[in-house]
Amino acid sequence: MKPLLVTMGDACGIGPEIIAQAYAMGELGGAVVCADLQVMRRALATVGHPGPVAQLADVGSLDEVPPGAMPVWQPPALAPGLVGLPLGKVQAQAGAAAAACIEAAVAEVMAGRAGGLVTAPIHKAALSAAGVAYPGHTEMLQALAAQSLKLDTAPPVRMMLANDELRVVLVTIHVALRRAIELLDTPGIVQTLRLTHAAGARFGIPHPRIAVAGLNPHAGEGGLFGDEELRIIEPAIAQARAEGIDARGPFAPDTVFMRARHATGHPGEFDFVVAMTHDHGLIPVKYLGVADGVNVTLGLPFVRTSPDHGTAFDLAGTGRADPSSLVCAIRLARRLSG
């Protein structure tokens, strides 16, 4: 089975430490860490588990790793000196290194040498300081996939946040709210519904029930509180249904997540919820527990998951960061790529 690749994220944040904790918990089986060797050695010491580190010459050398050693592949393009950067601060060098690890990992996955990608948190300000032209992981991975496939147009992708109780897919992500509303259109929502429907098969749900959350209070109340539901969202649902997709709604966004939630004694009415904007969709999932949430990018030609939290600069270097979300991301990536 091809290994998963786990990228270190921002070297000045908690990414290396939560990877080190996942390793100490025995959760890195079948995975290779794409990172700076010295940064990972420091992270292991920080979390009180100074185990051995095996530097791999290439991703395919996982079988040669001694038992109990953390397998680390350091991309050739990674600049030296990361371990000397101050923890908990935005550093251009850390942003550049995070981007280099992502680029190298995607190249390995696209070349068929790895089975999927798990990304530790990056810092958007550090990426920007390094001159990286993408606001986040999702946009960067989309562009890298297009470059690898030599496509003139990047493949459509969508961000999904999932835990055991709720799966939410977003139509728009990292833009100002005003801009997000401007970007909403029927083709974009239809594309989101197609990607969500296709994701169902990976989750073992060949015919997923998809709830569509409205944009406005009470889903517009028939146009009284906004007409986007009538003009944009309802036609998208109708088109998706004509294609055989079980999309329903639009539903009032203040109640649809409760209806979809799968909890003890409360089987959810839906398998996925599609939300129009970033915070509309992510607040309900994160409220159920950041530790259990996983970010999944739909539409890429490979599996990609990540924790549902950021770099937590205030915890960097303390060894107290919770690795639970990363562990969930590794487990889900293993399941989806298996």
pLDDT for res 92 = 97
Q: Say how far apart CA 184 and CA 161 lie, in whole Å.
A: 20
Asked if the structure places residue 59 within a domain, the reply is yes
pLDDT for res 1 = 81
pLDDT tens-place string over residues 252-308:
999 999 999 998 888 999 999 999 999 999 999 999 887 888 999 999 999 999 998
Residue 16 sits in a domain whose CATH number is 3.40.718.10
CA distances from 92 to 22, 87, 107, 240 (A): 27, 13, 23, 43
Other beta carbons within 10 angstroms of residue 258's beta carbon come to: 13
pLDDT for res 79 = 87
Asked if the structure places residue 291 within a domain, the reply is no
pLDDT for res 63 = 87
Asked if the structure places residue 293 within a domain, the reply is no
pLDDT for res 153 = 87
pLDDT over 90 (residue 141): yes
pLDDT over 80 (residue 126): yes
**Do 52 and 116 belong to one domain?**
yes
**Do 64 and 88 belong to one domain?**
yes
The proportion of the chain whose per-residue pLDDT surpasses 90, expressed as a percent, equals 84
- What is the residue whose two structure tokens read 């770099």? 311
Question: What does pLDDT average to over the chain?
Answer: 94
- What's the pLDDT band for 128 if we cut at 50, 70, 90? very high
Q: Say how far apart CA 240 and CA 55 lie, in whole Å.
A: 48
pLDDT over 90 (residue 110): yes
pLDDT over 90 (residue 174): no
Q: What is the mean pLDDT of residues 218-246?
A: 96
Q: What are the start-end ranges of the E strands in the chain?
A: 4-7, 31-34, 53-55, 70-73, 116-119, 158-162, 167-170, 210-213, 247-251, 272-275, 294-298, 304-307
Q: Say how far apart CA 78 and CA 96 lie, in whole Å.
A: 8
Asked if the structure places residue 128 within a domain, the reply is yes
**Do 16 and 128 belong to one domain?**
yes
**Do 110 and 127 belong to one domain?**
yes
pLDDT for res 270 = 98
**Do 107 and 195 belong to one domain?**
no
Q: Say how far apart CA 311 and CA 26 lie, in whole Å.
A: 22
**Residue 193, phi-psi category: left (phi > 0), alpha (psi -120 to 50), beta (remainder):** alpha
**Do 10 and 151 belong to one domain?**
yes
Asked if the structure places residue 73 within a domain, the reply is yes
Split into its structural domains, the chain has a count of: 2
pTM of the complete model: 0.92
CA atoms lying within 13 Å on the CB side of residue 261: 15
pLDDT over 80 (residue 338): no
Which residues 6+ apart lie within 8 Å of 111 measured at CB? none
pLDDT for res 284 = 93
CA distances from 237 to 155, 156, 180 (A): 21, 18, 19
Other beta carbons within 10 angstroms of residue 152's beta carbon come to: 5
The proportion of the chain whose per-residue pLDDT surpasses 70, expressed as a percent, equals 100
Other beta carbons within 10 angstroms of residue 26's beta carbon come to: 8
**Do 268 and 241 belong to one domain?**
yes
Taking every pair of C-alpha atoms in the chain, what is the biggest distance, in angstroms?
A: 66
Length of the chain: 338
Asked if the structure places residue 181 within a domain, the reply is yes
Boundaries of domain holding 258: 164-286
- What's the pLDDT band for 15 if we cut at 50, 70, 90? very high
pLDDT for res 227 = 95
CB 199 within 8 A of CB 168: no
**Do 219 and 135 belong to one domain?**
no
**Do 82 and 100 belong to one domain?**
yes
pLDDT for res 289 = 82
pLDDT over 80 (residue 150): yes
Asked if the structure places residue 292 within a domain, the reply is no
Other beta carbons within 10 angstroms of residue 320's beta carbon come to: 13
**Which of 27-31, 133-137, 272-276 shows the highest mean pLDDT?**
272-276
CB 255 within 8 A of CB 266: no
**Do 171 and 208 belong to one domain?**
yes
pLDDT for res 264 = 87
Q: Say how far apart CA 111 and CA 5 lie, in whole Å.
A: 13
Environment class of residue 44 by beta-carbon count within 10 Å: exposed (0-12), middle (13-18) or buried (19+)?
buried
CB 316 within 8 A of CB 88: yes
**Do 8 and 91 belong to one domain?**
yes
In this structure, are strands 53-55 and 272-275 parallel, antiparallel, or unpaired?
A: unpaired
Asked if the structure places residue 294 within a domain, the reply is no
- What does the buried/exposed string (b/e) look like for 62-96 if buried means 16 or more CB atoms within 10 Å of the residue's CB? beebeeeebbbbbbeebeeebeebebbebbbbbbb
**Do 27 and 145 belong to one domain?**
yes
pLDDT for res 133 = 87
pLDDT for res 290 = 76
- What's the pLDDT band for 214 if we cut at 50, 70, 90? very high
Other beta carbons within 10 angstroms of residue 283's beta carbon come to: 12
- Coil, helix or strand at residue 74: coil
Q: Please give the structure tokens belonging to residue 67.
A: 């038992």
